[in-house]
Every structure is written in C-alpha cells, then in structure tokens.
Structure 1
Amino acid sequence: MPLRVELPPTFADALREAERPLVGMWVCSGSPVAAEIAGCSGLDWVLVDGEHSPVGLETAASLLRALAPYPVVPMLRVPELDAAHLKQVLDLGAQNVLVPMVDTAEQARAAAAAVRYPPHGVRGVGSALARASRWGAVEGYLAGARETVSLTVQIESAAAVANAGEIAAVDGVDAVFVGPADLAASMGVLGQQTHPDVVDAVLRTFDAVRAAGKPVGVNVFDHAQAHRYLDAGASFALVGADVQLLTRASRGLAEAFLPAEG
C-alpha cells in the first residue's frame, strides 16, 4: 500500500494555537548545519532568507530538509513579489512564505493570488512532480493546498505603514511582519531602527494590523527593544541571525585572546 504523508502545521496554525508570542531567528548563511543548529535550539520558528542572502532554490530546499526533523516552524523569505518565484518555492516544499516590500493592498492581493491555485489564485499546477505534495504522497494535496500554505507579507516603508490596515485585511494574508531597517531608511533615518519616529510607526502598524484581526510581528535584534515590542502586542518576532551570532561570538574571542592593535 502506498505511503501516505501528512504535512506539518503552518505558521498560521502555530500563531492560532500559541499562548505566547513566537520567537525565532534568521538563517542567512545558506548553511544546512546552521539551519539544523537553529532548528534544535528550542526557538519557535526559523526564517530562511532568500532576499539578502545567497540562498537560491536548491539551497532553500536543502535548508528546509535540514529543518524538517525538528519542532520548529520554517519560513522562507522570497526576494520579491513574483508569482513565478513563489510557485517554485511552494513546489520545493516551502509551506510558509514571507513576501518583502508589500506597500499596498493591491500588492498583498497579488501575493495571496500567487500562493493559491485557480479559481482563487494563479499558482501553477505541478505539485505531483514536486516536494510540496511529497511527490503525490500527500493525499488530496490540490484540494487542500490552501490549508498547507501560510502567507506573511512584510511592511517596510512609510507608505506601507499608511496602508497597513488595508494590507492586513486582504483575504489570504495570514500575518504581517514589520521590517524596521528598511522602514527607517524610507523615513530618512537610515540605520536608526530605534529612532522614536520609527518606533512610533512600528507601533501604529501593530495597531492597524491587529484592528484588522491579523497577527503582527517584527524583526528586532536589540533585545531590550524586542521585549518592548512583544509587550506592545507583537505576536511573533525575529531576534537574531546565524551570521550575526557567529560574527559577535568570533569577534568576542578575538578581543578576549588577542592583543589590541596599535
């Protein structure tokens, strides 16, 4: 008798069932070893970055496989809102996708359409040939595909903040993620993610998204600020990255054991 496979719960499922905010980290190195270390860290979720990192389709597939055995929810950020690329990452088995730089409800609707099959979307049908359905081992994959995919969109500009409520209200958007780095840049304070105006914009986004009935999260490596955002109602957060943690630790070793130059 052929094996039947059930896919794990999505990020949207995890958010619905959570009794506290979900905390995670980035994997930006492209290393399956780093992904496994993150996967068995005890964190709630791991974001594989395909926007600012050297992560192509084959690497993304290997990182998702590295994370699969562990009790952590993996998410993959795509480089941009592109239906063809979203089709590819869904077929390679990404159940949870993050689309960056979503500024309008129209763009959010395009992202939602890209992760759904017709008649509700435009996702191309190739799952029987792909890891998404475990090559046909997931019974009834096409009929139930929407329940196996979670879409998060990223708000990263002053324009997106102004449209946050409309973006969050789009059917098919499961969650909204705020990126303070690009938001700060769009507000003319590049590199100042904790600038009062940026913090105020983040909090206003929280209010608008929650008023629309959707969970909202934030990227924040300043741990004191992370606690403030979690206390302010963030349902999920990313608080570190593999490359950032390795950089900090390796430089700490150099400072501890090597003489200062000069």
Structure 2
Amino acid sequence: MAATSRLQHALRTREQVWGGWVVGPTETAPEEFAAAGYDYVGFDVQHGYLSDADVARMLRRLERVPIATVVRLPGADAAPIGRVLDAGADGVIIAMVESAEQAAAAVAATVYPPAGVRSFGPLRADLGLDPGELASRVSVFAMVETAAGLAAIDDICAVPGLTGIYVGPADLAISMGHPPVGALSQPQIRDAIVDVAGRATAAGLVAGIHAGAGGAGNMMAQAGFHMVTLASESQALRRGITAHLDEARGDTSRPDAGSPKGYR
C-alpha cells in the first residue's frame, strides 16, 4: 500500500487547505500554526534564513504534531530536494519554474531511479526504507511566478508526477511590470492568477498560492485556489505585538499591521 503524507491527506479530504509560513529558525512557530488549526506549514529555504539542518530539526519536532509540511527551494537541484525529503518533508515547492523541462527536473528529483534521479538516504526511521513508498508520499509543486512561466503554463501542467501549481504574486507582478506590494490588487495580475488556477484545476492539479494574509487568502480561495498560504511567523508576530501595544495604549487608530499585501 502506498504511503500517504499528511499533506496528501489534507489536499484530498479538505475543501480548503490553509498554510502558515516560516522564514527563520524557530522551535515554537510551527506548533503554534498547528494549534491554531492550520493544515500545513511551509519552510522557506529560498528567501528565509533557514539551513537544511534548521529544517530537519523543525521537521523532527513536528513528527507528532498534527500538521503537514512543505519546503520551498530555489531550484530543481536534486541534492537539496533530496535532503529535505530525507528529513521528512511532505512536499517541495520549486521556485521560478518557467518550463516543462524545469518542472520535470523537480519531479525527477523526488523519485528514485530508473524513473528519477533521487539518491537513497532517508534520515528518519519512521519513514521506512521502501523506495516506492518514500517517493509516493511526496508532493511536488512548480512555482509559477514569471511571465515566462505564465506563457508555458499548459506545458508545465502536463508534466507527469506534478502535484500542483503554486503561484508567487510578487515576482509575477515584477515580471509583468507592476510593483510587488499590493500585487493582488492589480487587475492584470489578478486575472492572470485566476487563469492559472483554472488551468491547473482543469489539468487535475492542485492550485496553490502565496496569499500573504487572511484577507487576500479569502479572496484567492473564492478565486478557485485550493491550497492557500497565509501569514509567515514574522507577519503574525508583528500583527500580534502591534495589537497588544495598541490595546495597552488604548489606541485603535493605527492601521492593521497584518493587512493583506499579497506578496512573496
């Protein structure tokens, strides 16, 4: 029987899958996301201040915590992808995918030969030693966040073994000539993003997006996205500590520090 990860279970059984985001080494933030009811937590090795060792340590800490995990990596290099999967990540998000070839390379990095190029070396006993089961539990997302990626979206969606398309609004906005902050408020960007969701869903893939905040997340869920990442631990901390300070001062006039920005 094929192994099923927590992320796969959530994606198959829940109408909406909500995620938190971690950009720095922390022992408590992923557990707080889990306690709040988030379905998954993403670890950012592309833009965050996280090493492979940081990710492995946090994944181990979450072994008995009811939350799924995914790691964003800057490219389809097989070695770093293999390391986070050997440490127990449920899935990977590969940034800046602009072609079917790049998406196929990402998939190949999660599968053992002869079908792929992943090297065998699981680090956790609870994952088992069966190559087929180790590969079957992995979800692979191609992050589409450039105009070139948009142009190749149908070819990317047709890559066998891909789990989903994950949209990055900030870089997409920049590549289309718009500022990254407030990307989701730009009609051209929003239309392109909604089109990606429709094409991914039509191809039988999961449509995911980095919304960046609750309000933007709600908007993206209504636009057809199934997997939606909300605030990072730093954004959540900023919003919470600002609210506590405002309450203590009796000040309700300050703008919400956690307002939707729709970037990253």
TM-score by length of 1: 0.87
- Per-residue CA deviations over 1:188-225 (Å, capped at 9, x if unaligned) read 11223121111011011111111211110111134333
Q: Which amino acid aligns with 2:10?
A: A
Which of 22, 25, 33 is matched with 1:38 structurally? 33
Cα 1:9–1:256 shift into 2, 3 Å: same
Matches within 5 A, 1:56-71: 56-71=51-66
Tell me the distance in 1 between the aligned counterparts of 2:6 and 2:203.
21
Shift of 1:29: 2.5
Which of 140, 161, 171 is matched with 1:172 structurally? 161
2:209 equivalent in structure 1: 218
Which of 52, 77, 92 is matched with 1:97 structurally? 92
Tell me the distance in 2 between the aligned counterparts of 1:184 and 1:61.
32
C-alpha contact 1:112 1:121 (8 A) present in aligned 2: yes
RMSD: 2.1
1:209 equivalent in structure 2: 200
TM-score by length of 2: 0.86
SS in 1 for 2:183: coil
Which of 3, 11, 14 is matched with 2:10 structurally? 14
C-alpha contact 2:95 2:144 (8 A) present in aligned 1: yes
2:151 equivalent in structure 1: 162
Tell me the distance in 1 between the aligned counterparts of 2:153 and 2:136.
24
Shift of 1:40: 2.0
* Unmatched segments (≥5 aa) in structure 1: 1-5
Q: Which amino acid aligns with 1:192?
A: G
Is 1:192 the counterpart of 2:192? The answer is no
* Unmatched segments (≥5 aa) in structure 2: 252-264
Shift of 1:8: 5.8
2:22 equivalent in structure 1: 27
2:218 equivalent in structure 1: 227
C-alpha contact 1:76 1:97 (8 A) present in aligned 2: yes
2:136 equivalent in structure 1: 147
1:3 equivalent in structure 2: none
2:258 equivalent in structure 1: none
